[in-house]
Structure 1
Amino acid sequence: MQTPRRTNAIASRSQSMAQAQQYALPVLFSLFGVIMGSWAGRIPSMAERVHVSHSALSMVLLCGGLGAVLSYPVSSRMMASLGARKTMLFAGLALLGVLIAIGVAPTVPLLMLAVLSLGITASTFDVAINSSATEREKRTGKSELSKLHGLGCAGGLAGATLGSLMASLHIAPGTHFMMLAAPLAVALYFAYSLLDADEVGQKVEKKSFSLPRGPLLFLGAIGFLGSMAEGSIADWSGVFLKEHFGASDGLAPLALSAFSVMMLMARLVGDKLKTRYGARPLVTSGSMLGAAGLFFAVLSPNAYLALAGFAVAGLGLALVFPFVFSAAGAQGPAALAGVASMAYSGSLMGPPVIGAIAQGMGMQVAIAYVGGLAALIAFVASRSRMLK
């Protein structure tokens, strides 16, 4: 028979464990952001190290998008056999190993192979953590995916800032990534140990690629367009300021900073807004606001007003990915993996499409095209029954 003191101690430990478990997913999303931000922040250094041309660099970056598209059989089968918890551990450790491989790759072909592996491991890890988050949303009835994506965005900014600092200290990408991998692996295992996700896998179709069907196709289309828009702004907003307004090297990158900071702020309050207004009105109206911000940037008379336009675009587009992933994840890991694969294919197509438009018709038309993508997101979202 247990004494009251022993019963209270057990209850206290259970409560402490439950409180600790709440931090597992925030740590995982932040960790993912740090990894991807660190990789993005060192791209110039890695390109210089292997003496890659601009055209070859675009092919290297496309390998990441291609890997994300091809990740479906990996993510779906790992989720089926291992469950989300073990999938995120194995995919996360593999992602850290791939990050080091990218940093030390001595030739362009090996760099392309490493970046292809980055796309596969990163999207598999992303599917696993989003699946765990959506399962917790269903279990608790509480929306939290927007906040978690906001923490991922914050981690990305931290990783990019750290990358800039390492570059200024002339620390090689390989050394930087090795220094980063050990503490991040410890954080990954700590979060994995605390996570209360189900270990049981879920049966999925054994296909090399799954195109969402029916109502899920609308979610996939929104994700595809959102990925194209976000990736295009990340790659081309600074180039637009520099070429169109003659912005300095210090001012031009602030376009992406303004976009990212406002996106972060919006995601931190997105869950409360979803509870009050619903996902579909927020994605629809937000995408229209994003389109307006991009058109404002295109028509701005100077770079400073254009920065405001990109900030508004970040505010408007912030909730697209969290709510699409939440709606897809509610249908199960297989649906989430299929929608994620379609969404990530937008990152594969975005850079060359915008580059071709910029080459043929100028950067103003290219950014206006991204504004058109945002407006199209609003149109598709208004007809999606799964965004609730």
Structure 2
Amino acid sequence: MQNHLPVSTASARNIALSQSQSFALPLLFTVFGMIMGSWAGRIPAMAQRVHVSHSALSMILLCGGLGAVLSYPISSRMMGSLGARKTMLVSGMALLAVLIAIGAAPTVPLLMMAVLSLGITASTFDVAVNSAATRREKQTGKPELSKLHGLGCAGGLVGATLGSLMASLHIAPATHFVMLAGPLALALYFGYSLLDATDAGEAVEKKSLSLPRGPLLFLGAIGFLGAMAEGSIADWSGVFLKAHFGASDGLAPLALSAFSVMMLLARLVGDKLKARHGARPLVTSGSMLGAAGLFFAVLSPNAYFALFGFAVAGMGMALVFPFVFSAAGAQGPAALAGVASMAYSGSLMGPPVIGAIAQGLGMQVAIAYIGVLAALIAFVASRSRLLK
């Protein structure tokens, strides 16, 4: 004789499970954003500690891009043996350890090794958390990636703001990261424990290195270009305001704030827009809007008009990442790993490329180049069959 739960009890448990699921992924995306925002916010302090020039800093950042490219065999093997849920936990804890190592690295070679590890662990975590999110999208039939990436953006803003506060208090990056690692590790484990994702391995190709092919190559190219543009704006928009308009130290960082806040707001409504209009027209038109905003910033008569241009760019480019990752995840974890590797390499390779252009041709040309990247995203997106 089998015992069955009363209908009311089973229903209550289902509701509780659904509520925990609706909380787990947002928490994990927010934690990831805080980690990456904290790293980005302390780059100047870490560069100053090891006494590197701008060109040497570019080489350090390139190590992160190389790590992202090399992460594919690691992420695919971990997904194949552990599944998305355990991969998130292992790579997330490793990412926190790497963050502390970056803060404590006393020499340039050790900092380069730590940043290389950052690229590997961050890309692996990103593949796992987006895989779990796209699986949930399939189960529920509702788009969620835009909102989740919006929460990641919010976490990045919190991390960068906290980094600015720590810098103003003259707290060393290593101390800052140690203080941050404990609470974020607890939050990561809490999100992991709530997540209802199978621990069974995902079927993936076992290749040492793989780039997306066929229709997936379009998604990888969009992710790469989008990440180049977004990462470059994060690192160079404030420098542009200061160098070109003579903006104050208080005004210059508002370029990134304007870009990020509008990106966050757009991502919070992106899922509803996708359900109504589809991903391809939104990515295409949004990227064109982003390009227009960046060109407006370049041609602006003063810093305040340029702030408006960066805000428009943030609104226009907000939906590139969520919809590309959603489309790639729908093709399976191997596809997502390949596209994510390209995207992460773009995010970490973009800033040093823009720095080289700025050094040779000036900041106006460098920001205009980011506008060209945005226009190129629109062109590639308009021809992508997998963006639906």
Please name the residue that 2:343 is paired with: 343
Count of equivalent residues: 388
Q: CA deviation at 1:48?
A: 2.1
Q: CA deviation at 1:64?
A: 1.3
How far apart are the structure 1 equivalents of 2:73 and 2:253? 36
How far apart are the structure 1 equivalents of 2:83 and 2:300? 49
- Show CA shifts across 1:280-332 (max 9, x none): 00000000000110111111111100110000000000000000000000000
Instruction: Please give the residue correspondences for 1:1-388 in structure 2 after superposition, counting only pairs within 5 Å.
Output: 8-388=8-388
Q: CA deviation at 1:22?
A: 1.3
The one-letter code matched in structure 1 to 2:54 is: H
- Show CA shifts across 1:320-378 (max 9, x none): 00000000000000000011112222234322332232222221111111111111111
Q: 1:9 to 1:303 in 2, by over 3 A?
A: same
Q: CA deviation at 1:10?
A: 4.6
How far apart are the structure 2 equivalents of 1:296 and 1:277? 27
Which piece of structure 1 moves more, 247-256 or 271-280?
A: 247-256
The one-letter code matched in structure 1 to 2:91 is: A
Alignment gaps of 5+ in structure 1: none
Over the matched positions of the two proteins, sequence identity in percent amounts to: 84
TM-score for the superposition, normalised by structure 1: 0.96
Q: CA deviation at 1:123?
A: 0.6
SS at structure 2 position matched to 1:256: helix
Which piece of structure 1 moves more, 58-67 or 76-85?
A: 58-67
Q: CA deviation at 1:4?
A: 10
TM-score for the superposition, normalised by structure 2: 0.96
SS at structure 2 position matched to 1:143: coil
How far apart are the structure 2 equivalents of 1:293 and 1:245? 17
Q: CA deviation at 1:14?
A: 3.6
How far apart are the structure 1 equivalents of 2:287 and 2:3? 59
How far apart are the structure 1 equivalents of 2:130 and 2:121? 14
How far apart are the structure 2 equivalents of 1:348 and 1:95? 16
SS at structure 1 position matched to 2:83: helix
Q: 1:31 to 1:94 in 2, by over 3 A?
A: same
- Show CA shifts across 1:51-109 (max 9, x none): 23322222222211111111101101100111000000000111111111111112111
Q: CA deviation at 1:5?
A: 9.5
Q: CA deviation at 1:200?
A: 1.6
Q: 1:43 to 1:352 in 2, by over 3 A?
A: closer
Q: CA deviation at 1:7?
A: 5.2
- Show CA shifts across 1:4-58 (max 9, x none): 9965345323422321221000000000001111111111222222223322222
